[in-house]
Structure 1
Amino acid sequence: MSTPIGQQWTLINDHEDLLGADFRARTFTFPGPKSSVHTTLINHLGNPNAERAILYIHGYTDYFFQTGLANYFIDQNYRFYAMDLQGYGRSIRPTTPPNWCDSIEQYGQDLDIALITMKQEGVNEVIILAHSTGGLIVSTYLAQPYAPKERESHYKKSFPDVIGLILNSPFLALPFPPEVLNKVSWPIRILVSLLPFSYLRAKKISLYAKSIHKKFGGQWDYRLDWKPAEGFPLAFKWLKEVILAQRNLAKHPLSIPTLMCHATKTTIGKLTIEETQQGDGVLDVDSMLEAAQKTFSNLTTAAIDNGFHDLYLSKPEAQAYYLDSIHDWLTRFHAPDTTSPSSEKITPPDEA
């Protein structure tokens, strides 16, 4: 479960971020499941008086490096914050295995720290933007009885209102087509439960990594020690907790206004970089959509043609449509209304 709100954390570092003078990084430490852990809050210094902000949460084997994404929201008059969760990126420490997870819910403490800090700095409304596993983490957090909107009145003043959720290819289902997922989910769950301390180690660089990093012909330059091209060893314990979180989330629907952006098709198993770049090379789009429709009662979806798994890292045309989809949704955005659940779809310009 999330660490209780009364639990103390300590700010141990506050300095200019590695992304440059426009960014500030603060590292906090607090008791983790086995030892002290760290989490890092990064924020762009623009729009310091704005009361509405974006909070970005990264995915698995990932960290925040997308300065253009921050600048995009700054230009839209939002404040912008991002996190490197415990065990990821700026928050990796020798005593904490990268990406190790005892429970998806453990990241509730990281989110508490971010939201309370933002409130202290004058942010009153937050829209959370989350990618891949970050989407599962945030959705789980918001679905729990200890989420900010459900706090005891004594603590409500400590949190800004989380008024919207934007999901970038969220990890709401295992990467199999729906008809296959129904058959393999239980055997996988049994396997990872029987072998919790086992790992899968990739023997080569994934085509997805080759499609995005400059070293392999992609467009992006980021730290390969924090986001390795072959990935960190995949712990069965982590996979078990993901499966449990996905199953639990399906039982606790969310009414928060939600935009889910996704590629138009899945390209898992393709043999070339060019084929992989035509869609999501990590997750199955159909299973993702099916899970989202069960989980979010106020859901808007946007399909991005030629979008990568991380839609912001797509080629310029797809990235532009992804950002336009977010802008269109935010422009029509209103305060949450749980009395009239809805579902809609943003249509690509050539289909309108």
Structure 2
Amino acid sequence: MSTPIGQDWQQVNDGEDLLGANFRARTFSFAGPKTQVHTTLIHHIGNPDATNAILYVHGYTDYFFQTGLAEHFINLGYRFYALDLQGYGRSIRPSTPPNWCESLEQYGQDLDIALATMKQDGVNQVVILGHSTGGLVVSTYLAQPYALPERESHYNKAFPKVIGLMLNSPFLALPFPPKILNRVSWPIRVLVSLLPFSYLRAKKISLYAKTIHCVFGGEWDYRLDWKPAQGFDLSFHWLREVIHAQRNLANQRIKIPTLLCHSAASTIGKLTVEDVQQGDGVLDVESMVQAAKKTFTNLTQVSIAQGFHDLYLSHETARTTYLSAMSDWLKTLPHAP
């Protein structure tokens, strides 16, 4: 992104979040690439005087609902914030299709709004936690040549200092093993470029959804209109922009301290819920790790046995390991609570 998308934004809503009295939600309206869009900043009201915070950014076909994740960081002494990006969850509006984007770089505006608002709240230092596509969005934001001090000047607003990045199964590469990825990347890139207005229709409930939602026997209850079990229709344009962002990121070098957490195995293509639950049923771990090692020069890597794609939604043993890995890594950062 050479410059921020817009000059300013307007807060249009502020109140108790649907997650309950411990959570506050603020909605902001701003000019998107084609129409007015919204982004929603949710935060846990705990530790109101703390100056260090975690900012969580969700993945594709997703939104923030993991209250226990927030409470984990609150117990560590951090403040906790999460974004529902434009077109996702609380920020879905009738004017644009869910999850639609012209470019992944447009989410830089959402992050600008979140960081500026957190600074107004008294946050001085922030560690960003990105899951899946959220990890790609955040990494793209941090890699851009338009540095944060220049963005502050552009908006005439102060931002907190980003002192670390945590990645939960980031979407840094297409979901193929490295040898296959090398062969299929070019044909996929050509296809989605030639047919940008095409979609893969979402019809079948995914095995991954069956591993996590309580309706299908999983542990978690969340809104299936915002995170549908069959997913939203997959836009070829969206996929083209993801590939573009991944290729750009592969040519960047990010020096910020980074923690990469991922499952110990990929279970893409497995035929039963039980088999999918043994690892990451969405992305290829080996390709993900190779991409991360290429981009992040100050990288700590943690492998989680039987971790799901969203490691926090894993069964308790893997979930506890994941939370402990983040807690231990955060202690290595300067001025940790």
Q: What root-mean-square deviation, in Å, do the aligned CA atoms of Structure 1 and Structure 2 show?
A: 1.5
Aligned AA for 2:165? L
Give the match for residue 213 of structure 2.
213
Cα distance in 1 for residues equivalent to 2:80 and 2:223: 21
Report deviation, 1:154: 7.4
Aligned AA for 2:78? Y
TM-score, length-scaled by structure 2: 0.97
Q: How has the CA–CA distance of structure 1 residues 151 and 3 changed in structure 2, closer, same or farther, with 3 Å as cutoff?
A: closer
Give the match for residue 275 of structure 1.
275
Could you say what secondary structure the match of 2:81 adopts?
strand
Report deviation, 1:147: 3.7
Matched, 1:169 2:169: yes
Could you say what secondary structure the match of 2:172 adopts?
coil
Aligned AA for 2:283? L
Matched, 1:57 2:64: no
Question: 1:238-249 alignment to 2 at 5 Å?
Answer: 238-249=238-249
TM-score, length-scaled by structure 1: 0.93
Give the match for residue 103 of structure 1.
103
**Contact 2:268–2:282 (CA under 8 A) maintained in structure 1:** yes
Could you say what secondary structure the match of 1:290 adopts?
helix
Aligned AA for 1:27? T
Report deviation, 1:79: 0.2
Q: Percent identity?
A: 73
Question: 1:33-112 alignment to 2 at 5 Å?
Answer: 33-112=33-112
Q: Which runs of 5+ in 2 are unaligned?
A: none
Report deviation, 1:239: 0.2
How many residues are matched? 335
Q: Which runs of 5+ in 1 are unaligned?
A: 336-352
Cα distance in 1 for residues equivalent to 2:157 and 2:249: 27
Could you say what secondary structure the match of 2:189 adopts?
helix
Q: Which moved more, 1:105-114 or 1:199-208?
A: 199-208
Aligned AA for 1:219? E
Aligned AA for 1:236? F
Aligned AA for 2:250? A
Cα distance in 2 for residues equivalent to 1:49 and 1:285: 39
Cα distance in 2 for residues equivalent to 1:219 and 1:155: 42
Cα distance in 1 for residues equivalent to 2:330 and 2:261: 13
Report deviation, 1:145: 1.7
Matched, 1:226 2:226: yes
Q: How has the CA–CA distance of structure 1 residues 5 and 96 changed in structure 2, closer, same or farther, with 3 Å as cutoff?
A: closer
Give the match for residue 25 of structure 2.
25
Report deviation, 1:331: 1.3
Cα distance in 2 for residues equivalent to 1:75 and 1:298: 27
Question: 1:1-352 alignment to 2 at 5 Å?
Answer: 1=1, 4=4, 7-148=7-148, 151=151, 158-334=158-334
Aligned AA for 1:291? A
Q: How has the CA–CA distance of structure 1 residues 44 and 232 changed in structure 2, closer, same or farther, with 3 Å as cutoff?
A: same
Cα distance in 1 for residues equivalent to 2:185 and 2:326: 32
Report deviation, 1:3: 6.0
Q: Which moved more, 1:196-205 or 1:100-109?
A: 196-205
Q: How has the CA–CA distance of structure 1 residues 129 and 2 changed in structure 2, closer, same or farther, with 3 Å as cutoff?
A: farther
Report deviation, 1:291: 0.1
Report deviation, 1:294: 0.2
Divergent runs of 4+, >2 A: 1-6, 149-157
**Contact 1:51–1:125 (CA under 8 A) maintained in structure 2:** yes
Cα distance in 2 for residues equivalent to 1:187 and 1:110: 32
Aligned AA for 2:216? F
Residues 53-88 of structure 1, C-alpha deviation per residue, up to 9 Å, x if partnerless?
A: 000000000000000000000000000000000000
Could you say what secondary structure the match of 1:49 adopts?
coil
